[in-house]
Structure 1
């Protein structure tokens, strides 16, 4: 089996993986954020989509159930959490192509997808790996395709600043707190790049982004 570089697992520790779904529902407005992310993509029948860092497959399944005529792929580096995603897809009776690997080196041809999603993936990556992941997302998107991201963002109120500066000791969110994610997306070639929403959570500000790959 191909070896993958060290990564930060869901909630930082492997022993918390089994509790990922209930903790996400309890501590974050998960359903609201994911529904907003899908809505801004405006997915059409026949389109092909990638959920990079799909985790337990909650967003991946929601995408497929929202637009059953779309081809949906899920991709994650963590085999333990990917096994949970496979079981969820089987229970739901949905056909989703799930694969293990790193977002920094996607195993898909150029211009394969109409949309790429990244939900709470990027704060697990180093700055260099974030930049690689954005370049890979740009590569696999078709011209006119779009990237949809939900992750930690630049705090807009003092309480969120305090929480975010504490969280930076546990996750790779320093770049997020400084508001650099849109900069990294633009550097990868995306234009325009928009911040579409902010949410206050117990872990800090969560932001939604939408970035387009320009037409030729």
Structure 2
């Protein structure tokens, strides 16, 4: 797996970026997964939302459509994929805000957002950066705010286990298919961390999670 700068681009190579949306629509039940992620967040008017690692802004646009009275930000480290996202937002006449930046150094103040989303993003990061990104998500959330994650997880049947044997050879994905993402969320300070759904795909098991930043400082782990 080739690292490009301090991030891995969509499908790991910049030359594949223009076909990202087409590939995703063909390979994954993307609308179902992202729709479930949006639904579980119970969005409210006036909230500030962050799609961390937004890619082509498919989820970012869904968030804005689901709650037009929210302030929706999308952030990605890949300028090329953000250009695609901006074109999509322009065509949709959507008032989303797209920022260039990395998940491990979010360019936002503490307590900026009510909800943070990470859809098929964390598995692109090495272990230390996964942990840093989750700590950053915790930092920018308001007390009582929530993190919503869709990513690879522990296989849920024999077929998915066979697929996992192949994909886990990549260092970045191994943590996810070994089921470590919930533990990393807890280490970042989230309580509780819940799994909300599970999907089988051509690349393995995808799992959805909801994690909450404690509403009071006394509720945070030591």
**TM-score > 0.5 by shorter chain:** yes
> In structure 1, the residue corresponding to 2:74 is in which secondary structure?
strand
Superposed CA offset, 1:158-213 (max 9, x none) = 11111122112346111111110000000000000001111000000011000000
Match status 1:105 vs 2:105: yes
Match status 1:121 vs 2:104: no
1-side partners of 2:47 and 2:135: how far apart?
21
- CA RMSD, aligned part only? 1.1
Aligned to 1:79: 79
2-side partners of 1:43 and 1:124: how far apart?
27
TM-score by length of 1: 0.96
Aligned to 2:220: none
Of the structure 1 ranges 155-164 and 141-150, higher mean CA displacement relative to structure 2 is found in 155-164
Aligned to 2:142: 142
Q: Does the Cα contact within 8 Å between 1:190 and 1:214 map onto a contact in 2? A: yes
Q: Does the Cα contact within 8 Å between 2:126 and 2:171 map onto a contact in 1? A: no
1-side partners of 2:170 and 2:61: how far apart?
29
In the TM superposition, what is the alpha-carbon distance from 1:156 to its structure 2 partner?
Answer: 1.2
Number of aligned residue pairs: give it.
213
> In structure 2, the residue corresponding to 1:172 is in which secondary structure?
helix
Superposed CA offset, 1:5-59 (max 9, x none) = 4321111111111111011111101000001001000000000000000000000
Q: Does the Cα contact within 8 Å between 2:153 and 2:176 map onto a contact in 1? A: yes
Q: Does the Cα contact within 8 Å between 1:146 and 1:213 map onto a contact in 2? A: yes
2-side partners of 1:177 and 1:95: how far apart?
36
1-side partners of 2:130 and 2:105: how far apart?
11
Match status 1:163 vs 2:179: no
Structure 2 residue runs of 5 or longer lacking an equivalent are 217-222
Superposed CA offset, 1:41-95 (max 9, x none) = 0000000000000000000001001110000000000111011000000100011
TM-score by length of 2: 0.94
Match status 1:50 vs 2:50: yes
Aligned to 1:179: 179
- Flag as ranges the 4+ runs of structure 1 deviating above 3 A: none
Of the structure 1 ranges 16-25 and 129-138, higher mean CA displacement relative to structure 2 is found in 16-25
